[in-house]
Amino acid sequence: MIATQHRPLAEDLRLDFPILGQEVNGKPLVYLDNAATSQKPLAVLDALQNYYRRDNSNVHRGVHTLSARATDAYEGARDKVAAFINAASRQEIVFTRNATEAINLVAYAWGQANLKTGDEIILSVMEHHSNLIPWQLLAQRTGAVLKFVELTDTQEFDLDHYRSLISEKTKLVSVVHVSNTLGCINPVEEIVAIAHAHGARVLVDACQSAPHMPLNVQAMDCDWLVASGHKMCGPTGIGFLYGKLDLLRAMPPFLGGGEMIADVFFDHATYADLPHKFEAGTPAIAEAIALGAAVDYLNGIGMDKIHAYEEELTAYLFQRLAEIPELKIYGPQPKADGSGRASLAAFTAGEVHPHDLSTILDQAGVAIRAGHHCTQPLHRLLNAQSTARASLYFYNTRAEIDTFIASLKEAIAFFGGLFG
């Protein structure tokens, strides 16, 4: 079954991920839930350990050696993230807990100050709840109106529908770069250009693209971009907001407290320079430093290489899934070379409940996710209560896809017997 012309990327890298070497239910673990969270390489685990063993201290506060080390490492991580997405300035990177918090930051700080009754926000029907609920809340507070871009016949972002929705009333467009359910890769540069031509700002949710492909915020020209560290080999509890400098400068603070101030009086205060204005309280220091280590690790492999290898995996995954006639796979088909969509597949198998599929696959050591993947309105639109989803990363192999397909076939045959 395995036919590779060259040594696959994953073989050399799997040893960096101790968790992948274990057995689950007596079978070698096949971890295919990477869209939910990725595994962490030794370099990241070591960065966490080393920080707490050697450097643990609060940042930006003391003049002692440990505090200086912690501050240097924390700010060094910011430089790494800035370079990773080609931000023009390190001040454009704000550390947050995750992408969700980053979106909420923009919704509160920018949204509250800039939106009024009748203004319009354009989202798409495929948004993760994290890129929907903050805007619903903002709309409730301000009287702004939400509009939703629908899907094309191939279940991708409908640019024509988007063009028909946008107008001078549109103040904000907030869209996902790569859908965690459909796997489609949205034309963000075009989306941004159209929005800017109408004077609207654009936020890009890069949760499912930052881990998998090179990003260039200057080329994209987006106003904000958000991502979560835990999906890109980093720890949980750390994510980031990128925002254009002038925009971040003009935004009022989100959370208030220590770290984000310049001068404080009893009745008022002035705020710190960017990015600290948006980082109130003691930050997730170890996690930020470990995210920096994750960025180093990904750069060490090369985001181009990761993307190219994942395209190979995508082509193979879809070739194998096509052997199972009972499956309905959501989102666009990849091109023959695996390009054109993310290395994930959300699917249903006739009457079989996705949770049952996931439970049976778990018995075979195969971890896939079942549910609505926090895209419940999209699932409703697709007439699916829930779907099963396999999502891959650069450390997955063709052999793992084979194991997944074999156990999926067995599970469907088993339930087919029950329902037939």
Would you say 286 and 52 are in contact if contact means Cβ atoms under 8 Å apart? yes
- Rounded to a whole number of angstroms, the distance between the first and last alpha carbons of the chain is 30
* Cβ atoms within 10 Å, residue 321: 17
Selecting among 207, 222, 233, 374, the annotated active-site residue is: 374
- 326 vs 362, beta carbon nearer ligand 7TS: 362
Q: Which residues contact 399 (CB under 8 A, 6 or more apart)?
A: 1, 2
* Nearest distance in Å: CB 387, ligand 7TS: 11
* Nearest distance in Å: CB 98, ligand 7TS: 3
- Tokens at residue 219, please? 């080329």
Q: What are residue 175's DSSP bridge partners?
A: 204
* Nearest distance in Å: CB 226, ligand 7TS: 8
For the chain, give me the number of helices (H) and strands (E)? 15, 17
What value, to the nearest 5°, has the Cα angle with vertex 274 and ends 273 and 279? 100
Contact footprint for ligand 7TS (CB under 6 A): 35-36, 98-100, 128, 130-131, 176, 180, 205, 207-208, 228, 373-374
- 41 vs 134, beta carbon nearer ligand 7TS: 134
- 175 vs 272, beta carbon nearer ligand 7TS: 175
* Nearest distance in Å: CB 34, ligand 7TS: 9
- 137 vs 269, beta carbon nearer ligand 7TS: 137
The string of DSSP letters for 282-315 reads S--HHHHHHHHHHHHHHHHH-HHHHHHHHHHHHH
* Nearest distance in Å: CB 126, ligand 7TS: 9
- H/E run at residue 370: strand 369-371
- Alpha carbons 329 and 229: distance in angstroms, whole number: 28
- 9 vs 382, beta carbon nearer ligand 7TS: 382
Active site residue 184: no
Q: What are residue 352's DSSP bridge partners?
A: 349
User: Which residues participate in catalysis according to the annotation?
Assistant: 374
